[in-house]
Structure 1
Amino acid sequence: MSQRFVSIILLNYNSHRFTIDCVESIVAKTKGVAFEIIIVDNNSNPADVAALETLTAQPNVRLVRSRINLGFSGGNMLGVQAAGSQATYYYFLNNDCVLRTDVCTQLADFMDATPQAGLSGAQMFAGDGSRQQTFGYLPTLGSKLLGHGAVRRFNPALYPPLQQVYTQPVQVPFIMGSTLFVRASAFQAIGGFDVAHFLYVEEEDLAKRLQRAGYTAWLVPEAEYVHFTGQSTTRNYDIEKEYYISLFHYFRKYHSWPERVLFRLYYFIKNGRKFRRDPIFGRLAWFIGRGSPMRESLRYRQTIGHK
């Protein structure tokens, strides 16, 4: 066990209370592996950063500050650069999570025993204790046009039921980004996260590239954590727009231009038909119709902060 080392990377953006609780749960629960915690602050306000400084009194906790908000992928890649070279596994954990079990040991045990696994994740629970969906399906035209139930009939192995209660590890298409436990050698071999993804679709892209490199993704349900979903990100039109910027970047990477045209039409109609419910959907439909240009990403609307 002493040979296994987990570099746990947390992102903080003006949410130090969640980060402190997350760190405390990691320290309390992790018993079977050596670990370090790298906190990457994505250009929070000075008071929030100052509150995190108390955590660095612990020998295995480090705080890395960025003078610009690097988003999910960029922030985690900064954490990887700061992590020790001895890492066997990287654990990218949302800061608004707390561990219910010894997740790092449980996932490391599974990955040690499953060499083809490049990625795994723990079972998610909500703050009220309810079991939550922890994996998803990679977007395909078939699933969008026919529905998941129809495509599951043709290839059930690619579409394990989302709401089923699993008691044994199950191979899945991708793991939710709040709990990404990744084999360090595999992660390094594919170049890590694609930093063109700012806030969304990073987990789908990571799973897709690991899959192409011959690795698989797994849900390990005996490992459990709580995710206080959405507490660290406020959703608004710009945030919704950011999702489609990342989604269509994914489509440009992995789908032909005729498929991309159909995807654009699908999402244009999906949002456009709901504009009477909320004008934001009409604005999103127009944005998708314009091609979801990356130049309108929030990453390009910020300034460099002070040291």
Structure 2
Amino acid sequence: MYDVSIITVNYNSSNDTLNMIESVKSKTTLNYEIIVVDNNSSLEEYKKLEVIKNIDNIKLIRSRLNLGFAGGNMLGFKEAKSDYIFFLNNDTLLINGVIDILYKDCKDDDSIGLISPQLFDENANKTTTFRYFPSVAEKFFGKGFANFIATKKRYNNKKEYENIIDVEVVSGASMFFQRECFENIGGFDTDFFLYCEEEDLSKRVSDSGLKVCFEPNAHLIHLCGKSTGRNFKVEREFIISYFRLVDKHFGFIKKNLLKLHIFLKYLFKANKNETNKKLFDFILEKDKQKYSLRNEQKMSDE
């Protein structure tokens, strides 16, 4: 039995995965296993991972179909053999003993269901690690009003903290769970292909009565800040996931107000460029799921 199962999903970024594994090795004292799920990368990229095949505490799983972020992580979870599960993006690097710290936090306080470390970019600048769950009050009247009417303290994610705090949503790049909590809430909802998984998971942990926490003393680099051009299909996928999220967690009035907000947001942006115009047109589509990237995935031969 391991102390922690670390699960990561690789998609055509094997060098990142290998670098992440090396950082785990150098910064972790616990007895851990690493489960790498290759989400139907090119054969060339997959073969780069063969160097880890014969390492005892590392398991490599090849999916011949891109299952998306949620599906890939759930495939890895099926192989996990510990009471604590760390879903860790492959484009991350441990700065300090992140896994040891999060493990101790959960051991010391069994009311923590999900906890996440402080993230930094590749230039060692702190980045946003936690945020608020979508709300009608915030979307229409701003954070100040939402904070004023909140029934529990809402922390400012721009400030620095010294101790663990309770938050609403943590970053999907690094989510450390009690296994029992993760199983009790049903794990990742695999109907999300990309985006909004962390909002959904964090909300379900909170609804179960356990805490979602931010640990400012555990430090992790997340390399997602690399510059990329706008991609219409990826931005469209966010809209698909966001609509699913609000349909799942809000009643009729609130979910439609949140949809109205995003409708108005893209309406005002529609004349700025062609991508925004196409995204606005897409919001008017009734059956958004049929446009998901999930439907474009093809099974590979190897």
Whether TM-score is above 0.5 comes out as yes
Spell out, residue by residue over 1:134-158, the C-alpha distance to the aligned partner (whole angstroms, 9 max, x if none). 0011001111001112211222734
Unaligned runs of 5+ in 2: none
Instruction: Tell me the percent identity.
Output: 35
Partner of 1:41: 38
Aligned match of 2:146 in 151, 164, 167?
151
Bigger shift: 153-162 or 173-182? 153-162
Question: What's the secondary structure of 2:152's corresponding residue?
Answer: helix
1:107 and 2:102 correspond: yes
Give the counterpart letter for 2:132 in structure 1.
Answer: Y
Partner of 1:6: 4
Bigger shift: 256-265 or 193-202? 256-265
Partner of 1:255: 250
Partner of 1:20: 18
Change (3 A) 1:176 1:150: same
Post-superposition shift, 1:294? 1.1
**Aligned residues of 1:96 and 1:231 also touching (Cα < 8 A):** no
Correspondence 1:66-85 to 2 at 5 A: 66-84=63-81
Aligned match of 2:131 in 132, 136, 139?
136
Distance of 1:82 and 1:138 partners within structure 2: 30
Unaligned runs of 5+ in 1: none
Post-superposition shift, 1:15? 0.4
Give the counterpart letter for 2:204 in structure 1.
Answer: R
Post-superposition shift, 1:260? 2.3
Partner of 2:203: 208
Distance of 1:41 and 1:230 partners within structure 2: 22
Bigger shift: 184-193 or 151-160? 151-160
Give the counterpart letter for 1:96 in structure 2.
Answer: D
**Aligned residues of 2:2 and 2:33 also touching (Cα < 8 A):** no
Aligned match of 1:275 in 270, 288, 293?
270
Give the counterpart letter for 2:253 in structure 1.
Answer: P
Change (3 A) 1:190 1:34: same
Partner of 2:155: 160
Give the counterpart letter for 1:238 in structure 2.
Answer: K
| TM superposition outliers: structure 1 runs of 4+ over 4 Å | 230-235
Equivalent residue pairs, number: 302
Distance of 2:230 and 2:265 partners within structure 1: 19
Post-superposition shift, 1:292? 6.2
Distance of 2:87 and 2:160 partners within structure 1: 24
